Amino acid sequence: MESAALNTCVFLFAFASMFLLGGKRPLLAFSTRLLLVGLLGLALGYLVADGTWYRPYLAVATAVANVLFVAFAAIDVHHWQKKRAAERE
């Protein structure tokens, strides 16, 4: 991946994370936002831990946290949509 494309991906990832964490009307439940903060911490730890013995463990923990976050986020968005639909009726 070229430097410009990588910079764009990092910007979009950071923007999306901040949107999900700090929105006025949050789509995500508080626990899911905490999971996102943990996921960002694990990803940062993986990035910093280049060449250490525990980097593979961080990779697995980051992958597991990512799968959990996507599942919880999907559930939260579904509940948010149902709540909005009920408010319109």
pLDDT at residue 17 tops 90: no
Average pLDDT over every residue of 62-86: 90
- Exposure b/e, 51-80, CB count within 10 A at least 16 = b: eeeeeeebeebbeebeeebeebbeebeeee
Rounded Cα distance between 48 and 50, Å, is 6
Q: What is the predicted pLDDT for the residue at 7?
A: 65
pLDDT, tens digit, for every residue of 19-66?
777 776 777 888 888 898 898 888 888 888 888 999 899 989 988 998
* Tokens standing for residue 32: 């899911």
Residue 55 backbone dihedrals phi, psi, to 5 degrees: -60, -40
pTM for this predicted structure: 0.78
Query: Considering only CA atoms, which of 31, 32, 60 is closest in space to residue 45?
Result: 60
Domain ranges of the chain: 3-88
Look-up of token digits 């939260």: 76
